[in-house]
Amino acid sequence: MSFQHSIQQLAKEAVKLVKGVKVVGLGSGSTVGLIVREMAKLPDKESIEFIPTSLQIKLEAEKCSLRMTDESMIPYTDIVFDGADQIDSKFNMIKGGGGALLREKVLISAAKKVVIAADAPKYVHYFSRSVPIEVHPFARVVLSKKLAEIGGQPLLRTLDKGYPLVTENGNLILDTFFPSITDAKKMEVELKNIAGVLEVGLFTRRADTYYKAKNDGSFETISFQ
């Protein structure tokens, strides 16, 4: 038994939530990839339109013959499925490890219902990893300075060969470590207020359902409905 097995089991459980819905948002990452494969087995998948947040998930959804729609349908999103990099004790999240934080936050802000699936080690008492911050290339230098001034340690995200990672929106990501985040909502607003910051990987909207995958092959469901 493993996390992989428990994620496969929770993916089967998660797609049961897609009853009578018209528009489904798809976040990014390997867990969402598994959920997409389960969606492909739905008998009524032809009647559902899907909105992917990344090319990775779009390709997966195309492979599964899911019907894709565009951003004009975002206001009508019934449910969104996504993962997380860390979830704290108040159910705030850090997301953006895959670089799709801007689109993920747009979808999550619009969806009627949000479902998050993550491995048990990603559930922590306090955040202990860097916060991805999507920034306009023109603001890279000034933002690095400003983030350092407020106690952050920003690092430009690069690819294996050292090239800067460019998001699908044409922006850069500064992975910024903060020694402590006591008020995630306040910090999210403060960071978004800095000119040149396009999106922040702090997600403070509490999801309706969280799935916690365990390494013994089981999973736990935490529901706020």
Query: Hey, which residues are catalytic here?
Result: 104
Q: Are 36 and 48 in contact (CB under 8 A)?
A: no
SS3 string, 153-182, reads EEEECECCCCCECCCCCCCEEEEEECCCCC
DSSP state of 72: G
Taking the C-alpha atoms of residue 105 and residue 83, their distance in angstroms, rounded to an integer, is: 12
| Alpha-helical runs (H) found in 26-159 | 30-39, 55-63, 101-110, 140-149
| Number of other CB atoms surrounding residue 40 within 10 Å | 14
Q: Residue 199 corresponds to which amino acid?
A: E
